[in-house]
Homo-oligomer: A and B are copies of this chain.
Amino acid sequence: MRSIARGLGLASAAMALTALTALAGSGVAGAAPSGTESLYAPSALVLAITAGDDPDEGTALRAVTLVCAPRPSGTHPAPAAACAELRAADAMFDTITMPATGVRCSKEWDPMTVTADGVWNGRRVAYTHTFGNPCAMRHGSGALFRF
């Protein structure tokens, strides 16, 4: 049955290149935001933590993926909380990385940089923020950069 279907597919593909494209598209199984006809503008990010203050020179210590549409997923440990935070902040990352009030960290300079790259609501994103030290990062990175 499967090979018959495949045979039919190939036959119609030979008829027109457009048909081939359509078949190839529908043959993709399990891709989350699966086509131009998706109801959702794609939102997918790679979040990384790099020691130092230059994410383009340093080596990322950790990196996770976060997909927020159609539903929260990815290798992020708490995708639902991270996506909720991003939505609440309207993807203004600086709102999320703002230091919490009432938290005391030393002023020691041992910088850690967080980055967010990818696509949010269909728009390309490249965000960088450097914290003075790991304590500042721990208290100012929200659920988004807690991984």
Q: Is the CB of B21 within 8 A of A138?
A: yes
The SS class assigned to the A binding surface is mixed
Provide a sorted-by-A list of 14 A–B residue pairs whose CB atoms are within 8 angstroms. A24-B138, A24-B146, A28-B77, A31-B64, A31-B147, A35-B62, A42-B60, A42-B62, A44-B46, A44-B75, A45-B46, A63-B118, A65-B118, A67-B75
Does A99 make an interface contact (CB < 8 A)? no
Taking CB as reference atom, which chain B residue is nearest A66? B65
| Interface stretch (choices A4-12, A90-98, A122-130) | A122-130
How many residues of A are in contact with the other chain, CB < 8 A? 51
Is B46 a contact partner of A118 (Cβ separation < 8 A)? yes
Please state if B33 and A122 are interface contacts (CB–CB under 8 Å): no
Interface: A136 (CB within 8 A): no
In the assembled complex, A29 has its CB within 8 A of some CB on chain B: yes
Could you tell me which A residues sit within 8 Å of B by CB distance? 17, 20-21, 24, 28-36, 38, 41-46, 48, 50, 55-56, 59-65, 67, 73-77, 115, 117-119, 122-126, 134-135, 138, 146-147
**Are A76 and B31 CB-contacts (below 8 A) given A41-B59, A46-B44, A138-B21?**
yes
Chain B residue at minimal CB-CB distance from A32: B75
User: Could you tell me the distance between the alpha carbons of A21 and B61 in the complex, rounded to whole angstroms?
Assistant: 14
| Residues of chain B contacted by A125 (CB below 8 angstroms) | 117
